Amino acid sequence: MPDNTPQNDYPVPGEFEEPYFATAKSYYLAADMADWALGENDNTVWAGGGSFSWNATTGALIWSTPVELRTKTSVWKSTVTGPPAPGGVVVLQDGEVAFFQQPRLQIQDRVITALTIGPITQLPGVRLHDITLFATRIGTTVFFADGKSLKDGESGEIFGAGTGSTVQPHEHQNSKVIEPPSSGTSVLDLNIISFLPANLKRIRLFRNGELQNQPDDYSVDTTTGLVTLPVGLETIRPSFLDPTPERFVALMETFPPIITTGDHQHMAPRIVEPIFGTFQIDMLVTSLDYPALQRVELHRNGSIQSSPDDYTLDLPSGLITFVIPATTGERFTAFREVQF
Q: Is the pLDDT of residue 165 over 50?
A: no
Domain end among 127, 157, 187: 157
Same domain for 54 and 110, yes or no, is: yes
Whether 23 and 88 share a structural domain: no
Judge whether 7 lies within some domain.
yes
In-domain check, residue 124: yes
The answer to the question of residue 175 being in a domain is yes
Query: By residue range, what is the domain housing residue 11?
Result: 3-42
CA dist 237 and 207 (Å) reads 12
Question: Is residue 326 predicted with pLDDT exceeding 70?
Answer: yes
Residue 236 and residue 197 share a domain: yes
Structure confidence by residue, pLDDT tens digits, 80-139? 876 676 778 889 999 899 888 777 777 888 888 778 888 766 566 667 777 788 899 999
Q: How confident is the model at residue 163 (pLDDT cuts 50, 70, 90)?
A: very low
Residue 220 included in any domain: yes
| Cβ-based neighbours of 87, under 8 Å, separated by 6 or more | 49, 50, 62, 63, 64, 65, 66, 81
Claim to verify: residue 271 and residue 250 sit in the same structural domain: no
- Residue-wise pLDDT for 249-287, tens only, equals 999 988 765 544 455 677 888 989 999 999 999 999 998
Residue 283 pLDDT: 93
| 290 vs 308, more confident | 308
| Number of domains into which the chain is organized | 4
Mean pLDDT, the chain, integer: 83
237 within a domain of the structure (yes/no): yes
pTM equals 0.47
Is residue 293 located within the same domain as residue 271? yes
